[in-house]
Amino acid sequence: MTTDRMLKFVGTAKRMPTKRPADERAGDFGEIYDEFDAAAAGEQAARCSQCGVPFCQVHCPLHNNIPDWLMLTAEGRLEEAYEVASATNNFPEICGRICPQDRLCEGNCVIEKGFESVTIGSVEKYITETAFANGWVKPVVPPRERPETVGVIGGGPAGLAAAEQLRKRGYQVHVYDRYDRMGGLMIYGIPNFKLEKDVVERRSALLADGGVVYHPNTEIGATVTLEELRARHDAVLIATGVYKARDIMCPGVGLDGIYPALDYLTASNRKGLGDAVPAFDDGTLDAAGKRVVVIGGGDTAMDCVRTAVRQGAASVTCLYRRDRANMPGSQREVANAEDEGVDFQWLSAPEAFIGDGRVAGVRCHRVRLGVPDATGRQTPQPVEDSSYVVDCDMAITALGFDPEDLPVLFGAKGLEVSRWGTLRIDFRTMMTSLDGVFAAGDIVRGASLVVWAVRDGRDVADRIHDHLAAKAAGRARDAA
Amino acid sequence: MTEIRESGEQFVRAWRDNAATLQAAHAYDPAHEHESCGVGFVASIDGSPRRDVVTSAIAALQAVWHRGAVDADGKTGDGAGIHLQVPLDFFREHIEHTGHTLNEGRMAVGMVFLPRTDLGAQERCRIIVESEILKFGCFVYGWRQVPVDIEVIGEKANATRPEIEQIMFSSPVGRSESDFERDLYIIRRRIEKAALAEHITDFYICSLSCRSIIYKGMFLAEQVASFYPDLTDERFVSNFAIYHQRYSTNTFPTWRLAQPFRVLAHNGEINTVRGNVNWMASHETRMAHANFGDRVEDLKPVVQSGSSDSASLDAVFELMVRAGRELPMVKTMCIPEAWTDDGLMPQSWRDLYAYANAVMEPWDGPAAIAAYGGRWILGGMDRNGLRPMRYVVTQDGLLIAGSETGMVRVDEATVIEKGRLDPGDMIAVDLVDGGLYRDSELKDLLSSRKPYGEWIKESTKIDALIKAEHEEKPAFSREELRRRQVVAGWTLEDMELILQPMAETGKEAVGSMGDDTPIAVLSDKYRGLHHFFRQNFSQVTNPPIDSLRERRVMTLRTRLGNLGNILDEDSEQCDHLLLESPVLTNAEFHAMRDYMADTAAEIDCTFPADGGPSALEEAIERVQREAEDAVRGGCTHVILSDMGTCAERAGLPMILATGAVHSHLVRQQLRTFTSVNVRCGECLDVHYLAVLIGVGATTINPYLAQEAIADRQARGLFGDATLEAALGHYKKAIQDGLLKIMSKMGISVLSSYRGGYNFEAVGLSRALVARFFPGMSSRISGLGLSGIQQKVLRMHARAYDEAAVPLPVGGLYRYRRNGERHAFDGAMIHALQRAVEGDSYHLYKRYAEAVYAQPPVNLRDLMRFKSKNGAVPLDEVESITDIRRRLVAPGISLGALSPEAHETLSIAMNRIGAKSDSGEGGEDPSRFRPRPNGDNASSAIKQVASGRFGVTAEYLNNCREIEIKIAQGAKPGEGGQLPGIKVNGLIARLRHSTPGVTLISPPPHHDIYSIEDLAQLIYDLKQINPEARVCVKLVASTGIGTIAAGVAKAKADTILISGHGGGTGASPQTSIKYAGIPWEMGLSEVHQVLTLNRLRHSVTLRTDGGIKTGRDVVIAAMLGAEEFGLGTASLVAMGCIMVRQCHSNTCPVGVCTQDEALRAKFEGTPERVVNLFSFVAEEVREILAELGARSLEEIVGRTDLLAQVSRGDPSLDDLDLNPILVRADSGGYPVFNTVAGRNEVPETLDAQIIKDAKPVFELGEKMQFTYNISNTQRAIGTKLSSKLVRKYGMSGLQPGHITVRLRGSAGQSLGAFAVQGLKIEVFGDANDYVGKGLSGGTITVRPMTAASFASNENTIIGNTVLYGATAGKLFAAGQAGERFAVRNCGAEAVVEGCGSNACEYMTGGTVVILGAVGDNFGAGMTGGMAFVYDADGTFAHRVNPEAVIHQRVETEYWEDVLRRLVTEHARETQSRYAERMLMDWQREMPKFWQIVPKEMLARLAQPLTLGAREQRA
């Protein structure tokens, strides 16, 4: 009986897949976790309590049926486990690697308190890698081809998830991306040590095999206009993500040697993919031998500090104006970064960049946390006369992303945006102010997680299907 | 009781009006009335009429009053009566008064109830009676108005009193007695029909006979001779007298319902009555007998509609007897003994029973009957022995039998024999030739009358045949299987949680906590038709059967084919197929199909998926037509199949198809000619199969379940098990599950369950139910044919859409995002926890609003408040403190809960002056004293459940209320189980058991088999705690209103109505899902029926089961509740996050576990619990203020303040909550409890003893008392024990400090809960429940010194002795009845023989039985030890070897234990039998067996065998 094999958390301790030692892993860009072997995956999956109300699922944006595939894994029924896992998630192997599980499923695991959570992410990764290894992962073969075509702008997680879902129903799907590869931030934003690039490319290739047509290097508004796409397709999905780096406003911000996080990470990732990257090769975006300061406390900041470590930085310092408990990024990533030698300076905010033409240091002041505001977060207050300087050769700002000005970029005046610049949609239909034009992912919700993008992509695929099915039914009625 | 506000006339008028209103609203059905009783008879063994037979019977009626109920007026009884020979001399005088002289014809007398007030109708009745009598050539002497004394009956009884007259007439000359008696039977049926045709309802013939006459009415039993002065006439002599005292579940005096009936008087209840009556209707088609000739048509219907179960059984008895069958044979056919193919039973008896089984479905249920059939007077017992019957044979030639010993006072010196009827037994007197026939003599006689052994060879047992030939192999491809699974509505969850355990372990899956999903009719997901059927279950008026420990009385034997004429007696009746189980695997089905060849017709049960809006209905009609044609064409088997389901055709729900065919064939009077075999894809779990059988299926082949098992087997999910093995497991799980479902209803025989509609529909259209499932109740209507078609087609489209379909993940049992909704989802749990942790009413309101924003889950979600007055200021509403006092933390046992959680609840509830309920399992006595900081961890309510764990005199004296848990919302009709892993040292100590050993609570309370038994337990509890109120916990079901009325009459103070959503620590998943109904339905019915019967103001109503907000509380109040239990919500407040693994001992938050490491995780505090209850109370205040009410009391029963706002999904026919909202007129009585304190019960002998024992309490002196007693003095020693335990504690006195010596027959519950220091010595005998809950006292029972009979050959104490005893001693010089020492956990006892099921469930103590034991010894015995003296070497056949081993006494240590007890027995009782045994000890000792539970083998302090000692040494 299932419960005989499960509920082992009382007697079995949590064990993650082996993590390579910090000094070893800091020397390369390989993923830091090994894979579970079958026995370990089964044993760890069997720790699941098989809850009546699985809070892991409740707090998973995709509502993955986690207890079910844990149970199937514990029983060694991996093909079924993959079937269940992939029924709610287009990229389980990617979510298994990069989701901040400690804030989502694992963080809400009911045995977390005292027993430490089930290693949900690692098992998810194990299931899917096993599925790939055994050839269970197959390209989409739609039951029938539909005549309608859908154009998807943006080959990131939202766009690709939507593309795959639509393709399953037999729609003709075209994905347009301004970069040369599909995957969006999954390919250029997230460093290899979290997500090796062949994992992403394996997925995009699978979609292509399933009949999704890619149009790389296509800039909407430049290569092709939105109007053209609308004419070409029965529906258009905008899933561009948000790319505009949030600026820091302080003296010295114009100095050389200060870079937005994404520029820095993209260069590193492109190098990893073997591309020629002049700005890296000339040392501009290479942290090797430099004293690096990263400003910000989110996951992107963590990616930057850990990349800098791997590039051989002389020192890496992270400045964040709140304390550890109040940082938005994953605690697990912070711990990894600390292990790898990053110096975290909590409660310190940059005042100015100093240097002569090129940045040489960041002047900061200490911060104390005041009373919580309406959102429940404590507001940072500067501590007077607490300035000090952190010397540096390279400063990376990772303060978040804002949407680009799409109506201007796309030359589509009618495309309504919110006051934050995100696209305004009808939340019932997920359609923008333009008929037949849908939007999903970060460009609607603001910078967020890959898993939310996948969720949005799946949701919008259903809405697009509803829209197209209704139109088809209308046509059939008219014809009759 | 409050003052009487209505006259009898007003009451009767108001009752009738109210009943009509409630009936019209489908809120009440008089068919649900129950009754129970005391019964007995006296017979003259040589057959000569005697006056003392009559006077003895009248005396007996004066000694059974406590088995009946008395109305508030103290005079209106539930009915009593007496059945006697017609006293010829007496009537000769009255005939002469009419001016006639007795002619040569045979004299007959009819005892007739005529309409009293409608003189026209009265006259019409006389005309009908006379003219029918005259048509048969009789001569009418005239009518006699029977003298009655109306002073002795109550006003209500008088208001409905009929005109009571006797018609005296004579037969045509030369008509023999038996021929004339048969004529009279036909005449009476003709009269009854004629009266019915004239719509005269108040007309009833008690008896119409030339042999016997029945005097009965609505007086108290002891008043029978006062009401009918006739009976005091010395000329009333008789060779037999049957007497009966009735206890009914309503207060309306209905004269005709009094017993005895024409043949029998019945104490009990026929649980299978609906199936039996339906099958009788089918049998009528073929019914014929030479004795009746053409007149047989006059006899139909045999069972008149509206008859009670006893009346129905009587009608069948009468038919069979008049057709010429002997009375003992009729008893054997209708109420057979349980039998199997092995055991000690003679082959000739087995042949007899096999024949009886071939002819008629047993009428199953508790029954002690007394019957008269001309030649024979007979006492009989049901197959389970669920009613007591004791008898005495006297030297002067009387057989006196009855529910209790001592009802007729007999000088013990004149007694030849004192006995009892064991399960299935009979005793009879041949009144013609004279002579007493004991059970085996009767059965030998019957089985030798016909060559039954030859006849039954006509039946073909096809089990062996179908197993041999075919191989099981899968038929579908993976994809085909998947699509069919999806179309059946199956999910991954079904496969993993339900199917896998069945096929892997042969057991049903177990789950925990309650069902918080929407009832099927409110769900927006696909729910198969079986979700709309809720299993019926018994509570109070009859016991569930224990399908695990008392399996031997149950059978799934199935007859297929053509059933014969029930009135015949020949071999042809046996010509049909026989199966041991109705569940067939595919190979078995194919083999059976091959065997049936062209005697079977296969009917396709699918319909076109693209058909019109009535495609489903058309298909059903087609299927019905094809079935009818096939049967008319001579087919004896019909096969219904949905195998034809494919992309183009959708399957009919097979429940619907089966019900449609069965009901159609019954209506066409064809059902008896054929079997209905069902091949069904949709059925997966036990419940589905039970529904199919319940609606008429003969056999079932769950082919798709088999395919799914085959698929899983191929994938290796059953390890190395073969497909056959996995299927075997599945079949076993299904079969055991069927037995369990039947047993909940108290039904032990499948053939009587089939077609009995032992379900109630919740949310099915009433029209649909009436059409396809006639007779099943469906109160709120709902889904009809068009809705079903839509649902089926939606699933069909999903399954046969082009894409490959994944199996949905599920979510019915455990929450899944895309599955069924759950009332407590993650957000709700967190919201509530945040609110109580932060003490924030604001956050609580956010939680409550989230609850209200959910789509409807419960019926109450379809209602809104309807304010009639303006709002009142919040300040004027009663305080939070007042409201909180009405809130209860319901019973959750320590054992399920961790000690931390259990104490937290108690402390919290005590802090706010509210009540927590201990649940079953006792409580640590250290909790009975407040803690240094003032916290009181003692539960205000102490529960008494069927296991009686931890129920001691001390426990019962430390509470404000005692709750008798009859049933549990999550699993009504089932027992409970605490797995060994949860039984640690503390739990074991409190439950008087052994750590690590699994503890089982039986399905029934073994001292509550009927309503009068419940009254007795309430009486006992009110003695052991003279202040505590007594609460009876019931589970909502249709018909619960009448049960509650009975409970109120039994003097309960509070009635708790639990809804189906209630929680559980562990229970089969199908029980959590499919038994019980919402409390909204049960509560309102109880409130209405109590109001109707003017009982509402004498009890408090409480409800629980999923209540979680103030709004729920207010709605419950409006539906009639005054107190409210919040179970799951209070657990959530303490940190429960609904992991639903309570049964696994792995609760990660330490709430529901005994694991030390996990208990350390518990973070609950009393403050959080207090916060929850305060918030709920505050919300209640706000709602009350809005409604303009100042207190909760004002709105109790105010359903007029509720309005239905939603009628559910548009696809429903109608969803009508009017049955819940209808109100009965209260006639000026309050509709809430007005009794301050409690409903007191009469004092017993203890009042005198306590007075006499003053020196004991004042000076602590040692004393001895002596009294004479009778059987009406019950629970002797119990109230005294309460005084003793309060003063001296459980062990403050030495054993024997007070000795109470008694002479005579002790009433029930002698020495119940007697404590250490009290010794009771009885000279005479005692009734049932001796030493119930014995808590350290000593009881001895021995015959009078003058008695001449051998003590070991006679019965001296009754049934269910030492039930739940925790300590103390019992010595009885004689035999005990059934279930001796059941659930004993500490007492030592010696008796000289006992009935069946002895030592059942025993968990401790030592029992010595110096004589033969009945069957099923030691079933479920997990602790303690027994020694049985086995003179004739049959013990090995009597013991149930599942839980125990038996061996000879090998070691000195255990021999010493045995000998010490026997010596003590001999000393205490002076038993000559025991003395002889001791004298000859060396020769006798080797005849003893030592019985030890298997679980104890490794835990015994002393080795059992010599070998083991050596090994240890």
pLDDT along chain A (480 residues), means of 10: 71 88 88 88 92 92 95 92 93 94 90 84 95 93 89 97 94 96 94 94 95 96 93 97 90 93 95 92 93 94 95 95 85 91 93 93 92 76 91 94 93 92 95 96 94 97 94 84
**Any A CB within 8 A of B639 CB:** no
Q: In which band, very low, low, confident or very high, does the pLDDT at B1265 lie, cut at 50, 70 and 90?
A: very high
What's B670's DSSP letter?
-
* Chain B neighbors of A168, CB-CB under 8 A: 803
Which 3 state secondary structure label does DSSP give B766? helix
The C-alpha R_g of chain B, in whole angstroms, comes to 32
C-alpha closest to that of B1225 among B1049, B1103, B1042, B1093:
B1093
Per DSSP, the residues of B1366-1390 read: -EEEEEESSB--SSTTTT-EEEEEE
The answer to whether B1490 and B1430 have CB atoms below 8 angstroms apart is: no
The C-alpha R_g of chain A, in whole angstroms, comes to 23
Q: Say how far residue A324 (Cα) sits from the centre of its chain.
A: 21
Residue B33 has phi, psi (to 5 degrees) of -60, 145
Distance, in Å, from the CA atom of B1048 to the CA atom of B1050, rounded to the nearest integer, reads 5
Nearest to A53 among B501, B505, B815 (CB): B815
Query: Do the Cβ atoms of B816 and A57 come within 8 Å?
Result: yes
Please give the interface size between A and B, counted as residue pairs whose CB atoms are below 8 Å apart.
Answer: 106
Query: Do the Cβ atoms of A54 and B500 come within 8 Å?
Result: no
Distance, in Å, from the CA atom of A246 to the CA atom of A239, rounded to the nearest integer, reads 20
Q: Which of B807, B820, B1137 to mutate to test the interface with A (most CBs of A within 10 A)?
A: B1137
Amino acid identity at B144: R
Q: In which band, very low, low, confident or very high, does the pLDDT at B251 lie, cut at 50, 70 and 90?
A: confident
Amino acid identity at B709: I
Provide the pLDDT for residue B803: 60
Question: Above 60 in pLDDT, residue B1513?
Answer: no
Min mean pLDDT across B265-279, B760-774, B1496-1510 is at: B1496-1510
**Any B CB within 8 A of A111 CB:** yes
Which 3 state secondary structure label does DSSP give A78? helix
The token pair that represents B694 in the structure block: 């319940």
Question: Above 80 in pLDDT, residue B802?
Answer: no
| Minimum CA–CA partner of B515 in chain A | A52
The half-sphere exposure of A60 on its side-chain side, counting CA atoms within 13 A, is: 29
Provide the pLDDT for residue A1: 41
**Any A CB within 8 A of B1156 CB:** no
Percent of chain B topping pLDDT 90 = 71
Which 3 state secondary structure label does DSSP give A268? helix
Query: Do the Cβ atoms of A51 and B1144 come within 8 Å?
Result: no
Q: In which band, very low, low, confident or very high, does the pLDDT at B804 lie, cut at 50, 70 and 90?
A: low
SS3 content of chain B, % helix, strand, coil (to 5): 40, 20, 45
Mean pLDDT (chain B) is 92
Nearest to B496 among A55, A59, A71 (CB): A71
Query: Do the Cβ atoms of A84 and B809 come within 8 Å?
Result: yes
Residue with tokens 């299978």: B272
C-alpha closest to that of A377 among A389, A369, A387, A388:
A369
Q: In which band, very low, low, confident or very high, does the pLDDT at B120 lie, cut at 50, 70 and 90?
A: very high
Min mean pLDDT across B67-71, B505-509, B1089-1093, B1385-1389 is at: B67-71
C-alpha closest to that of B856 among B1211, B1218, B1213, B519:
B519
Query: Do the Cβ atoms of B1161 and A87 come within 8 Å?
Result: no
Nearest to A115 among B501, B815, B1148 (CB): B1148
Provide the pLDDT for residue B884: 96
Which 3 state secondary structure label does DSSP give B1191? coil
Question: Above 70 in pLDDT, residue B569?
Answer: yes
| CB within 8 Å of chain A, chain B residues 878-937 | none
Question: Above 90 in pLDDT, residue B24?
Answer: no
Provide the pLDDT for residue B1211: 78
* Chain A neighbors of B817, CB-CB under 8 A: 57-58, 63, 65
Min Cα–Cα distance to chain A from B829, Å: 9
Distance, in Å, from the CA atom of B1111 to the CA atom of B852, rounded to the nearest integer, reads 9
Nearest to A1 among B500, B813, B1157 (CB): B500
Element (H or E) spanning B39, and its range? Answer: strand B35-44
Strands B80-85 vs A315-319: parallel, antiparallel or unpaired? unpaired
Provide the pLDDT for residue B1510: 44
Question: Above 60 in pLDDT, residue B2?
Answer: no
* Chain B neighbors of A115, CB-CB under 8 A: 1148
Min mean pLDDT across B63-67, B454-458, B598-602 is at: B63-67
Strands B1029-1035 vs B1054-1058: parallel, antiparallel or unpaired? parallel
Distance, in Å, from the CA atom of B46 to the CA atom of B243, rounded to the nearest integer, reads 20
Element (H or E) spanning B1156, and its range? Answer: helix B1156-1159
| Global pTM value | 0.92
Number of Cβ atoms within 10 Å of the Cβ of A212: 26
To the query of whether residue B574 is one of the catalytic residues in this protein, the response is no
* Chain B neighbors of A66, CB-CB under 8 A: none
Is the alpha carbon torsion for A287, A288, A292, A297 positive or negative?
Answer: positive
The token pair that represents B819 in the structure block: 């599955």
Residue A205 has phi, psi (to 5 degrees) of -65, -40
Tens digits of per-residue pLDDT, B500-516? 999 999 998 888 878 88
Query: Do the Cβ atoms of A51 and B1141 come within 8 Å?
Result: yes
Min Cα–Cα distance to chain B from A1, Å: 5
Nearest to A7 among B505, B804, B1141 (CB): B1141
* Chain A neighbors of B1141, CB-CB under 8 A: 3, 7, 49-52
User: So what's the ipTM on this one?
Assistant: 0.86
Min mean pLDDT across B342-351, B683-692, B1237-1246, B1399-1408 is at: B342-351
Q: Annotated catalytic residue: which of B37, B574, B959, B1136?
A: B37
Residue B450's alpha-carbon distances to B203, B445, B567, in angstroms, are 41, 10, 15
The token pair that represents A397 in the structure block: 């700002």
C-alpha closest to that of B1430 among B1383, B1393, B1455, B1403:
B1393
**Any A CB within 8 A of B504 CB:** yes
Which 3 state secondary structure label does DSSP give B1190? coil
Query: Do the Cβ atoms of A49 and B818 come within 8 Å?
Result: no
Q: In which band, very low, low, confident or very high, does the pLDDT at B524 lie, cut at 50, 70 and 90?
A: confident
Backbone region of residue B1311 per phi and psi (left: phi > 0; alpha: psi in -120 to 50; beta: other values):
left
Nearest to A84 among B492, B717, B1138 (CB): B492
Q: What is the mean pLDDT of residues B1006-1023?
A: 94
Distance, in Å, from the CA atom of B1196 to the CA atom of B886, rounded to the nearest integer, reads 12
